Chains A and B, each alone.
Chain A
Amino acid sequence: MTTITKKPANPIAHLSPEQIEALGAELDAIRDEVIETRGDRDAAYIRKVVDVQRKLELGSRAVLLASIFPPAWILGTAGLSVAKILENMEIGHNVMHGQWDWMRDPKIHSTTWEWDNATPSEAWKHSHNQVHHTHTNIIGKDNDLGYGIMRVDEEQRWYPLYLAQPLWNFINACLFEYGIAAYDLELGRNLSKPKDKRPESFTKGVKDTLKKIRKQATKDYLVNPALSIPTGSFLPTLAANVTANVVRNLWSHSVIMCGHFPEGVETFELKSIPDNETRGEWYLRQMLGSANFSGSTALHIMSGNLSHQIEHHLFPDLPSNRYAEVAPKVKAVFDKYELTYLTRPFVPQVASAWHKVIRLSFPNGWLETTTPTNLPTQLVALYKITTADKRKRRVMLKLLERKAKQEYAEAA
């Protein structure tokens, strides 16, 4: 992927400024229609989901009190995993977006909600709602792109360290909630500063996050296992909680990877974004910077309706249960303005995101020019690039890229 302004065929070059504003007006109309019809049905939906989630979690934790018995362990762990996923995805993420603020229910409100996750909701709301949703897919501005630890774009220079990127990504997936906490704190950037130069907000943020992590860990890894001691189930319950958290982490990581990583999602250069980006231009960036995945209703709910990532990015504060309903209308706007509505079934979409992570862990063009037959020579070349000094490496990277382009042109 290349930022769209550097692409040979810019996917938005065919749109005039007037068309972009007209497109914005059409999306605004879709949004207004939902807001006008928001009501009882939606309120009943979120209350139902909250009710089911809490009863499922409570029930699962009750079953885990006897988790020494394998069937209880399996049932309880599965239930707890699903409950944690529901809590984070369909409830927490969406409530914190303010999707349900219109109900004026202080118990289901973005300013009061705290979620079952290592990062405090305050920190999440800043980094996610403000930074990521405003600067979606702008290289250097949107830290969701690779979370600052990965190479997610051809234009980022390749270093040998990136060879370990698939491994990083997998480890990050397993520990995703802590990864998010670190990312919300901008840990890397702040830790690289001298201690006395770090902002006060960072010190406070670290304190709040550690407090939240302590409470979360006490619940999952101490209190609940301890409550299972009477049946001799301390360790099985501990294992169940670890499992549920890892399952939730892997799941949410996969869902989120599908949102902005798959092949075909566009990225943007900071300098290509006008200072006063219009509503239409902002919409357009959201349209091209997100990807959906298709599947059953259960899959949509378990993904927090982030399966409708495109709709979510266009209308982050509309109730999530309405995304499915507006999706065909949004797609019609894409078609009308000849834009690509990027969607695949879940598994291919996850695979596509992983493919990109792996492809970009190698120098540009390396994976594309590699076939089973030339693998040995390619590996030797990779070894040489990796061990070369800076100047030589730069030359080798350029040569490799040129070769890939030639092959691509020949194939075409």
Chain B
Amino acid sequence: MSTTTETPRTGARSGRLTSGLRNLLDSAVTPLTVDDLLDHFAPLRTGAAAGLQGRIVSVESETADAATIVIKPGRDWAGHIPGQYVRVGVDVNGIRLWRTYSLTHGPRRDGRISITVKAIPGGAVSQHLVRNARAGQMLHLAQAEGDFVLTPARAGRRQKLLLVTAGSGITPVIGMLRNLYSRNESARDAAVAAFDIVLVHSAMKRDEVIFGAELRAHAEAGRLRLVERHTDTDGLLTIADLEAEVADLAERTAYACGPAGLLDTLEEFYAERRLTLHTERFRAAVVDVEAEGGTLTFGGPSDRVVETDGSVPILDAAESAGVLMPSGCRMGICMGCVLPMTSGAVRDLRTGDLTVAVPGETNPGGVPIQTCISAAAGDCHIDH
């Protein structure tokens, strides 16, 4: 008993000591903190004041317009499960922009992480990462998120999986596959025994298949069955194609990642058949609503008035006007961008639903709204 209580007590005391020392040092550099100063020397250490960052280790080209960026994350990186994504903050022409990318490796022994980015025409961040990112540059990171992950292998039962991907939708799946097959010989054999995988992957043409060589090598070695479709010649994947290619489709747990059109079709089909489908979307599907817009008034410390139209998320409109906004996934999932609206109306850009705040009727503290998927439907007062 006495030994078990001793340890935490010493720990607590030393914790108090270091926090006492820290307070003293902070008081020597106020209004900064010691962490603010240490950031200038060791931005990747635990407890960085500027938040979690990563240093680019290498940029490897995958296809003509896709590249894998290997990053050494800061000490606070909490790890990830293959298939998860990470939010990355990149300074593009001086402006910090955040985007979400799938992690394309399983946990690596060297502690590095990677994302694979396809340069979208006109895409500020993707173009910057593929064309201008260089080893040594710093990125801001959030922790890994997402539940697009495989259920762990169970002894004695082979899991039958169908993976349907298109374009850069391969990125979360390659993370899963590398975790299964690319670690070492024994792990690979165990994975082959535990998973029976069919991968249906679409890309415009053969040399645009990101990780093409790697996927084909897995197929040749008999680790998975690869159905590669080149939409330039084969056309877009249809449900009929899928059923023809995968005879035992109903027995397979399905994972899909790709453009919204593909995912919508699959979701409809799987719901009808009452089969299990996991999907990963990179952008919220936006419905067409009449652009109304209005004036956004930010009360509180921000103290800013922003004009916006009804097609732009409040988050984007406010950021463009220089308001420092809390943000997260930017697709309506993580609730990292929620702010209280004290009066006004906003429209959910995914569903078209209206949310209204009326002073005196709705919550006096304001109605919480997700700024990343809400557009102004009239003048709004937001407490921020």
A39 — which chain B residues lie within 8 A by C-beta? 93-95
A83: min CB distance to chain B, Å: 11
Instruction: Decide if A43 touches B94 in the complex (CB within 8 Å).
Output: yes
- Which of the residues B31, B36, B301 comes within 8 Å of A215, measured between beta carbons? B31
Instruction: Decide if B95 touches A102 in the complex (CB within 8 Å).
Output: yes
* B91 proximal to A (CB < 8 A): yes
Instruction: Decide if B324 touches A104 in the complex (CB within 8 Å).
Output: yes
Q: How far is the CA of A98 from the CA of B321 in the complex (A)?
A: 11
* B205 proximal to A (CB < 8 A): no
Residue of B28, B40, B49, B94 ringed by the most chain A CB atoms within 10 A: B94
* B50 proximal to A (CB < 8 A): yes
Instruction: Decide if A42 touches B32 in the complex (CB within 8 Å).
Output: no
* B29 proximal to A (CB < 8 A): yes
- Which of the residues B27, B94, B96, B322 comes within 8 Å of A218, measured between beta carbons? B27
B97 — which chain A residues lie within 8 A by C-beta? 104
Instruction: Decide if A104 touches B27 in the complex (CB within 8 Å).
Output: no
Q: A7-15, A50-58, A279-287, A349-357: which one contacts chain B?
A: A50-58
* A114 proximal to B (CB < 8 A): yes
**Known interface pairs A51-B40, A109-B324; A103-B32 also in contact (CB < 8 Å):** no
Question: In chain B between 33 and 55, which residues have their CB closer than 8 angstroms to a CB of chain A?
Answer: 36-37, 40, 49-50
Which residue of A has the minimal Cβ distance to B302? A111
Which residue of B has the minimal Cβ distance to A215? B30
* A29 proximal to B (CB < 8 A): no
* B234 proximal to A (CB < 8 A): no
Q: A142-150, A219-227, A386-394, A396-404: which one contacts chain B?
A: A219-227
Instruction: Decide if B32 touches A111 in the complex (CB within 8 Å).
Output: no
Q: How far is the CA of A67 from the CA of B221 in the complex (A)?
A: 71
B93 — which chain A residues lie within 8 A by C-beta? 39-40
Question: In chain A between 363 and 388, which residues have their CB closer than 8 angstroms to a CB of chain B?
Answer: none
Question: In chain A between 8 and 65, which residues have their CB closer than 8 angstroms to a CB of chain B?
Answer: 38-44, 51, 54-55, 58, 61
- Which of the residues B37, B319, B324 comes within 8 Å of A112, measured between beta carbons? B324
* A154 proximal to B (CB < 8 A): no
Instruction: Decide if B24 touches A223 in the complex (CB within 8 Å).
Output: yes
Instruction: Decide if B27 touches A219 in the complex (CB within 8 Å).
Output: yes
B30 — which chain A residues lie within 8 A by C-beta? 215-216, 218-219
* A277 proximal to B (CB < 8 A): no
Question: In chain A between 69 and 109, which residues have their CB closer than 8 angstroms to a CB of chain B?
Answer: 98, 101-107, 109
A111 — which chain B residues lie within 8 A by C-beta? 301-302, 324
* A116 proximal to B (CB < 8 A): yes
Q: How far is the CA of A377 from the CA of B356 in the complex (A)?
A: 78
Question: In chain B between 179 and 224, which residues have their CB closer than 8 angstroms to a CB of chain A?
Answer: none
Instruction: Decide if B31 touches A104 in the complex (CB within 8 Å).
Output: no
**Known interface pairs A111-B324, A116-B31, A215-B27; A105-B302 also in contact (CB < 8 Å):** no
Q: How far is the CA of A215 from the CA of B27 in the complex (A)?
A: 7
* A334 proximal to B (CB < 8 A): no
Instruction: Decide if B96 touches A104 in the complex (CB within 8 Å).
Output: yes
* A202 proximal to B (CB < 8 A): no
Number of A-B contacts (CB under 8 A): 69
Instruction: Decide if A107 touches B96 in the complex (CB within 8 Å).
Output: no
A215 — which chain B residues lie within 8 A by C-beta? 27, 30-31
Instruction: Decide if B94 touches A54 in the complex (CB within 8 Å).
Output: no
B301 — which chain A residues lie within 8 A by C-beta? 111, 122
**Known interface pairs A215-B27, A215-B30; A107-B49 also in contact (CB < 8 Å):** yes
A122 — which chain B residues lie within 8 A by C-beta? 301
A114 — which chain B residues lie within 8 A by C-beta? 31
* A115 proximal to B (CB < 8 A): yes
Q: How far is the CA of A38 from the CA of B28 in the complex (A)?
A: 35
B163: min CB distance to chain A, Å: 36
Q: How far is the CA of A103 from the CA of B49 in the complex (A)?
A: 18
Q: How far is the CA of A209 from the CA of B40 in the complex (A)?
A: 29
Instruction: Decide if A40 touches B31 in the complex (CB within 8 Å).
Output: no
Instruction: Decide if A227 touches B322 in the complex (CB within 8 Å).
Output: no
A316: min CB distance to chain B, Å: 13
Instruction: Decide if A102 touches B37 in the complex (CB within 8 Å).
Output: no
B27 — which chain A residues lie within 8 A by C-beta? 215, 218-219, 223
Instruction: Decide if A40 touches B94 in the complex (CB within 8 Å).
Output: yes
Which residue of B has the minimal Cβ distance to A92? B31
A306: min CB distance to chain B, Å: 21
Q: How far is the CA of A98 from the CA of B30 in the complex (A)?
A: 22
B96 — which chain A residues lie within 8 A by C-beta? 103-105
Instruction: Decide if A55 touches B95 in the complex (CB within 8 Å).
Output: no
Q: How far is the CA of A44 from the CA of B168 in the complex (A)?
A: 32
A107 — which chain B residues lie within 8 A by C-beta? 36, 49-50
A243: min CB distance to chain B, Å: 18
A219 — which chain B residues lie within 8 A by C-beta? 27-30
B319 — which chain A residues lie within 8 A by C-beta? 104
Task: Give B297-335 as 1s and 0s: 1 = Cβ < 8 Å from A's Cβ atoms.
Answer: 000011000000000000000010011100000000000
Q: How far is the CA of A106 from the CA of B93 in the complex (A)?
A: 16
Instruction: Decide if B94 touches A101 in the complex (CB within 8 Å).
Output: no
B324 — which chain A residues lie within 8 A by C-beta? 101, 104, 106, 109, 111-112
B91 — which chain A residues lie within 8 A by C-beta? 40, 43, 103, 105
A101 — which chain B residues lie within 8 A by C-beta? 322-324
B227: min CB distance to chain A, Å: 43
Interchain residue pairs with CB less than 8 A apart (19): A39-B94, A40-B94, A41-B94, A42-B94, A43-B95, A44-B94, A54-B32, A58-B29, A101-B322, A103-B91, A104-B95, A104-B324, A105-B96, A111-B301, A111-B324, A215-B27, A215-B31, A219-B27, A227-B28
Known contacts A51-B40, A54-B37, A104-B319; 8 additional CB pairs below 8 A are A38-B94, A40-B91, A61-B28, A102-B95, A103-B94, A215-B27, A223-B28, A224-B28
Chain A interface residues (CB < 8 Å from chain B): 38-44, 51, 54-55, 58, 61, 98, 101-107, 109, 111-112, 114-116, 122, 215-216, 218-219, 223-224, 227
Give the top 7 A-B pairs by smallest Cβ distance, nearest first.
Answer: A43-B94, A101-B322, A114-B31, A39-B93, A104-B96, A223-B28, A39-B94
